[in-house]
Amino acid sequence: MAEDPTNIDTEQKWPLDPEEYKRYGRQLIMPEIGLQGQLNLKSSSVLIVGVGGLGCPAAAYLAGAGVGKIGLVDGDTVEKSNLHRQILHSTATVGMSKVESAIKYLTSLNPTVKYVPHIAHVSTETTLDLFTPYDLVLDCTDTPASRYLISDTCVLLGKPLISASALRIDGQLMILNYPPLPPGNSKGGPCYRCFFPKPPSPESVTSCGEGGILGPVVGVMGVLQALEAIKLICAGINSEEPVESRDRPILHIFSGRPGATSPFQFRAIPFRGRKSNCAVCSSFATITKESLTSGSLDYQKFCGILNPVTALRAEERVSVEDFAESISKPMTEVRSAKRTDSRKYTVVDVREKVQFELGNLPGSINIPYSELCHVTRSDNVSMSAQKESSKDGQPTPAWVTTLSKTSPDASIYVICRLGNDSQLAVQKMKEYGLGKGSERFIADIKGGFSSWREMVDPTFPDY
Amino acid sequence: MASDTISITVEFTGGLELLFGNKKKHTVSLPGASKTKNPDITFLVNHLCENLMQDSRRELFVLDGGVRPGILVLINDADWELEGEEKYELQSGDHVLFVSTLHGG
Ligand SMILES: [Zn+2]
């Protein structure tokens, strides 16, 4: 008996809403997605930790693809310096929490997705409860401590983790704890600790603020996280069926630099499975749900805290105010000048050349800190460095020669961006005998250009 | 019997290249073993510090005689832990990749 088609409830007749066929039509007709894939996406939930350069593009594509529920975790607010790469935020949302700013954009992109805000940084007290309602986690954070905590939580809860990172013109991506089998099951995917059992020293960790980051580079990595998430969800996150990428974990490396045959490079490095003595995913695990919530694990302490450099004595340092005063005096006021052509002071700016070129003090000379740390190898000695040799037979670095030529009674003031490298630079200068005993005053400028801008010249370029 | 010297390719990525003259790929000649043993990874790491590194901040590459935490060592594009860690004996033509993990996002 034929029914009148106009009487049939469309919600019962078709698995997706009419609007959804239109919205997702271009991916629905792909065999990789299809109706089942779309239904998987619709019933899935993804937690994105960090709504920055990785989290923004990842969230945009997952929302666009129709993931049912997206949780967003970040405790930061939008800054102007985020906008070149964090594409969900805008000039109008500077100062707003990143999570709220992102949800504002995502809601206009796809209002049918459920967005769950978590305006806070991840912490040991909250991660277990926070991650539990989600099927899949994306690590889009930017510190070692958060990366260990997120990975440990995913292992303890049996959630797959898509982890990415980027710096300067390079990016890395790994799918961790996939398949997400319980700790001790060697068939489960390795975790972050399997790759990196020990954290890097804080001195060896470079942030985007220090090293720089190119928008499209971190964008590529965030987009790849979304791609892998969609593939995982469509295949069925907990399905036992082998997926190609499951066979062996892979570290993906992207470089925006030209390679031998391409203007950019992708590289896939196959890795071992779980480490047999991993602290969280092996049968010898010491990290448990209980130890996580009891507060006995301090991830900040585990990764080390970078203390401000205190390499110099108080008398080897000058404040920006005192420095401003001493350089404002006309040259003729120099009382102890022995030679008429002598300068009373030399200002050495130890920021890298590219930063020096963004703005500098008139008359200052640029000797980048990396040059101060440069070691001249005997087989590639440059011509300028070969001219002079110090007592121990090592060639004298060119920068020492340059500074030796300044008048011995001219003070040397060393300045950098924040006041850390400048102290180490003063030490190096003294090691090379530029202090002439203690005849010459060599000091660093406390707080560097950050303090200079705050206390003396607010127009100095703030980058 | 090992030859006098073995030639390998060493590659740095993830910012480590900045410590090695901002050059990613290097061809390195290592003195081969006079007896039965070829130079291992520990030897290579020390050799790189002494002869190739152009930065005085050794702590950015080594710690306690091995590569510092946060650096992965891959021999011929495979995870070095499969190869017997720092005891892996290098062969002529080997490709050793040092990857520093990135943290930014
Ligand atoms: Zn593990």
**For residue A391, what are the contacts with CB-CB under 8 A and spacing of at least 6?**
none
Q: How confident is the model at residue A338 (pLDDT cuts 50, 70, 90)?
A: very low
Ligand 1 center–CA A199 separation, angstroms? 13
Q: What is the pLDDT of residues A171-191, one digit of tens each?
A: 999 999 999 999 999 999 999
- Which residue of chain A is at minimal alpha-carbon distance from B81? A272
Whether the CB-CB separation of A89 and A102 falls below 8 Å is answered with yes
Q: Is B77 in CB contact (< 8 Å) with chain A? A: yes
Q: Which of chain A's residues have a Cβ under 8 Å away from the Cβ of B63?
A: 201
* B79 CA → ligand 1 middle, Å: 15
> Do A167 and B77 make contact, defined as CB atoms within 8 angstroms?
no
* Of the partner residues A55, A199, A376, the one whose CB lies closest to the CB of residue B69: A199
- Scanning every residue of chain B, which has its alpha carbon at the shortest distance from the alpha carbon of A139? B105
A140 in contact with chain B, both atoms CB, cutoff 8 A: yes
* Mutation for testing the B interface, residue in A149, A204, A254 having most B CBs under 10 Å: A204
Nearest CB to B72 within list A170, A195, A208: A195
> Would the annotation count A118 as a binding residue?
no
Q: How far is the alpha carbon of A198 from chain B, nearest alpha carbon, in Å?
A: 6
A411-415 and A442-445 as β-strands: parallel, antiparallel, unpaired?
Answer: parallel
Of A166-180, A229-243, B8-22, the one with minimum mean pLDDT is: A229-243
- Report whether A159 contacts A135 (CB < 8 A): yes
Please tell me whether A74 is known to bind a ligand: yes
Indicate the range of A51-60, A255-264, A416-425, B27-36 predicted with least confidence: B27-36
Q: What is the pLDDT of residues A432-461, one digit of tens each?
A: 999 988 889 999 999 999 999 999 999 999
Indicate the angle between helix axes A55-65 and A98-109, nearest 10 degrees. 30
Q: Do A196 and B70 touch (CB under 8 A)?
A: yes
Q: Is A260 on the interface with B (CB under 8 A)?
A: no
Which H/E stretch holds residue A139? strand A136-139
pLDDT tens-digit map of A396-406 = 899 999 999 88
Tokens 């007896």 appear where? B35
pLDDT, residue A383, reads 40
| Tokens of residue A428, six digits | 């190096």
Nearest CB among A170, A198, A272 relative to B102 is that of A170
Is the Cβ of B56 closer than 8 Å to some Cβ of chain A?
yes
Determine the CATH number of domain B6-100. 3.10.20.30
Phi and psi angles of residue A399, each rounded to the nearest 5 degrees, phi first: -65, -30
Q: What is the mean pLDDT of residues A329-349?
A: 59
The CA A49 to ligand 1 mean position distance, Å, reads: 20
Residue A343, pLDDT score: 54
List the single residue in B with minimal CA-CA distance to A212. Answer: B104
Rounded mean pLDDT of A82-106?
Answer: 98
Q: What is the dihedral of CA B54, B56, B62, B63, to 10 degrees?
A: 170
How far B3 CA lies from chain A's nearest CA (Å)?
23
Is it the case that residue B96 has pLDDT exceeding 70? yes
Residue A269: helix, strand or coil by DSSP?
A: strand
Q: Separation of A194 CA from ligand 1 center, angstroms?
A: 4
Instruction: Report pLDDT for B80.
Output: 61
Contact indicator for A190, A272 with CB cutoff of 8 Å: yes
| Chain B contact present for A206, CB below 8 A | yes
Domain boundaries, chain B: 6-100
A56 annotated as belonging to a binding site for a ligand: no
- Least Cα distance to A203 among A288, A284, A305 occurs for A305
pLDDT at position A279 over 50: yes
Q: What pTM was estimated for this model as a whole?
A: 0.90
A303 annotated as a binding-site residue: no
Closest CA in chain A for residue B60: A204
Domains defined for chain A, CATH in brackets: 44-302 (3.40.50.720), 314-455 (3.40.250.10)
pLDDT (mean) for A38-64: 98
Catalytic residues of A, by residue number, are 208, 416
What is the model's pLDDT at position A353? 96
- Round to the nearest angstrom and report the end-to-end CA distance of chain B: 49
C-alpha A258: how far from chain center: 22
Chain B residues whose beta carbon lies within 8 Å of the beta carbon of residue A197? 69
Residue A68 to residue A62: CA distance in whole angstroms: 9
3-class secondary-structure state, position B64? coil
Residue A25 has pLDDT above 90, yes or no: yes
Cβ–Cβ of B101/A165 closer than 8 Å?
yes
ipTM of the complex: 0.90
Averaged pLDDT, B11-24: 93
User: Cβ A195–B57 below 8 Å, yes or no?
Assistant: no
